Chains A and B, each alone.
Chain A
Amino acid sequence: MLEQYIPILLLICLAIILAVSFIVLSHVLGPNRPNSNKLGAYESGMDPIGQARDRYSVSFYIIAMEFIVFDLEVVFIYPWAVRYQEFGAGTFWSMMLFIGILFLGLLYTLRKGTFDWDLVHSRAKKSSY
């Protein structure tokens, strides 16, 4: 009864094979003469300052967290959408309430000023953290 998943298995194997082959081939075939400026991080010509991962402001985290919450909301809506005809008006209004509550959460996040980028960046420039 696992036959239905054969295509997925093939897809995964193909993806793995492609990824590995790219790395191996480029490593094996490509000319390998490293020198200092080739190995430096590419900063469109300028030499890089600070390490690669210096800290940046918190609003990126808040956006990622919002992504999780709305990803979960979508996950709840999948089964609802699939069986939409069988459910009466009650379920419909309950789901509207569900979506409404999460929408209020979004309004709260918007209002708390974490999304207006210019303010965020102007503040970030003043003090690094």
Chain B
Amino acid sequence: MESVNELVTILPAIIIGFAGLLVMMLDAYIENVRLVFRTTTLFTLGALGIAINDMFGHSGEAFYGLITYGGTAAFGAVLVLIGTLVTVILSRDYLEKTGSHIAEVYSMILFGTFGMLILVSANNLVTLFLGIETMSICLYVLAGLVKNEKKGVEAALKYFLLGAFSTGFLLYGMALLYGASGSTFLTDIATLDDKGMIYWAGVALLLVGFFFKISAVPFHMWTPDVYQGAPTTITAYMATASKSAAFVAFIFVLSRALPEARAEWGDVIWLFSILTMVIGNVLALVQDNVKRMLAYSSIAHAGYILIGLAAGTDAAYSAVLFYLFAYTLMNLGAFGIVAYYEWHKGLDFTEVKNYAGLGFKQPVMGVLMSIFLFSMVGIPPFAGFIGKYRVFAAAVDEGLISLVVVGVLASAASVYYYLRVLINLYMHESDPGITLIRPGVLYSATLIILAALTIYFGVKPGDLTNLLGSFKGISY
């Protein structure tokens, strides 16, 4: 049995798992949703604190090498837990207002986060597979939460069927890699010398499975419908926490298991990155529904992150981690504000033009929305710019000039659909009939903190970049 002090290495996951079970029991025996909300927030805060201090601790492997801790894994845990914490806080008001405030949501979010924390620190194909599956099953359930509406359940079915389909490919890739190398540990797969066709088939199928999870273009079919069908704060959770976890696991697999094959999968990722950026942005341009536009923008951001993965050096990986941090902050904020606007039952917000003139009615929300959207475009004073800049710089160092050119053009194109929202918010005058409810103190405080972080890490990214750089070689 692993010694007890090894349990410390996955303490955040244990806390979140325990919290999930506790919340499940509270929901069953004490039907008090506010108590459930408070326990969830408390435990997530505790786990986040531990994960942050893990980042500065030493890194290594535990549980017979199944789990890796410290460094990148701890930073991945921080990303996931930030996403979870903000989602839980925003969900309370959002779900109350939209009438589907049930305690099972919190237990499913906690179980999903448990899966992500395992996925983020996986160093073996078995833990990787279990992490991905636990995360996915909880997300299938969360996607179908608003059952009475048609589109929610349709999103859940589409997500589920395509998810089961991609799990088949992912597992087949793992099987072939295990067949070629004889062991399921990522580091052993790296030491494989004769790379037969089985190895390359395994790599290809594994990439297909991961591309589905991060919704790269040919495998993104599920993303817009699922993001639109799910409740908005749950969409924020899916867009930020689950995508960051999938990317960190992808980094571990690429850097740990397949370092020699970098040239080959570098080209594959190069191609998929261009596809994702171009098609993601083009489709986002034609969208009218803001939530669907944000879904396509998250696909486009996956394309920018793939540029860093195509570069494949340790510097590129730490740039990707920074980008994921900025991406999580701005997407949580943007989806949070869209969720706020959806509180108002009377008004329908399917079209962008319904946002006309709302900027002045609730100035706080308008300003915050503009901060997040500017950060998404990549305008200098915000974290989004620093993220994009460092990823592009890492790609240029590796000579992937064409990728960076497409990235810059795509970012330029993205200005149009991001600022269209702002134009509607501020330039168009709204019909006087609409009055916006004041957002709760906790709700607006969370969004203000997110905006403050976006600006702080935009202006002074120094200490975070040093920390990320200090992670002792992701693929040691």
Contact = CB atoms under 8 A, between A and B. Distances in A.
A22 interface: no
B28 A101 contact: no
A90 interface: yes
A94 B2 CA distance: 10
10 contacts: A87-B1, A88-B1, A89-B1, A90-B1, A91-B1, A101-B21, A107-B28, A108-B24, A108-B27, A111-B29
Interface string A94-108: 100000010011011
B25 interface: yes
A107 B25 CA distance: 8
Q: 3 tightest CB-CB pairs across the interface, nearest first?
A: A90-B1, A111-B28, A108-B28
Instruction: Specify which of B1, B2, B24, B29 lies most central, judged by the most chain A CB atoms within 10 Å of its CB.
Output: B1
A33 interface: no
A102 B25 CA distance: 12
Question: From DSSP, what is the main secondary structure of chain B's interface residues?
Answer: helix
A112 B1 contact: no
Contacts, number: 21
Interface residues of B, number: 8
Contacts of A104: 21, 24-25
A87 B1 CA distance: 8
Contact of A94 (B1, B24, B25, B28): B1
Contacts of A88: 1
Interface of A: 87-91, 94, 101, 104-105, 107-108, 111-112
Instruction: Specify which of B21, B27, B28 lies most central, judged by the most chain A CB atoms within 10 Å of its CB.
Output: B28
B28 A112 contact: yes
Contacts of A87: 1
Nearest to B4: A90
Interface in B1-47: 1-2, 21, 24-25, 27-29
Contacts of A105: 24
A105 B2 CA distance: 26
A90 B64 CA distance: 15
A105 B25 CA distance: 9
A37 to B, nearest CB: 44
A91 to B, nearest CB: 6
A39 to B, nearest CB: 39
A11 B24 CA distance: 46
A108 B28 CA distance: 6
A91 B2 CA distance: 9
Nearest to B29: A111
Contacts of B1: 87-91, 94
Nearest to A110: B28
A91 B1 CA distance: 6
Contacts of B27: 108
A92 to B, nearest CB: 9
B15 to A, nearest CB: 15
A83 to B, nearest CB: 14
A111 B25 CA distance: 9
A105 B20 CA distance: 11
Contacts of A90: 1-2
A94 B1 CA distance: 9
A108 to B, nearest CB: 5
A77 B357 CA distance: 63
B38 to A, nearest CB: 20
A87 B21 CA distance: 27
A59 to B, nearest CB: 16
Nearest to A109: B28
Contacts of B28: 107-108, 111-112
A105 B29 CA distance: 13
A104 B107 CA distance: 13
B393 to A, nearest CB: 46
Contacts of A107: 25, 28
A104 B24 CA distance: 9
Given A87-B1, A104-B21, 6 more contacts: A89-B1, A90-B2, A104-B24, A104-B25, A105-B24, A108-B28
Nearest to B27: A108
Nearest to B3: A90
Contacts of B21: 101, 104
Interface in B22-81: 24-25, 27-29
Contacts of B29: 111
A96 B1 CA distance: 14
Instruction: Specify which of A91, A104, A105, A112 lies most central, judged by the most chain B CB atoms within 10 Å of its CB.
Output: A104
B148 to A, nearest CB: 14
Contacts of A112: 28
A114 to B, nearest CB: 12
A108 B20 CA distance: 12
Contacts of A91: 1
A107 B24 CA distance: 10
A108 B29 CA distance: 8
A90 to B, nearest CB: 2
A104 B28 CA distance: 10
Nearest to B1: A90
A105 to B, nearest CB: 8
A95 B1 CA distance: 11
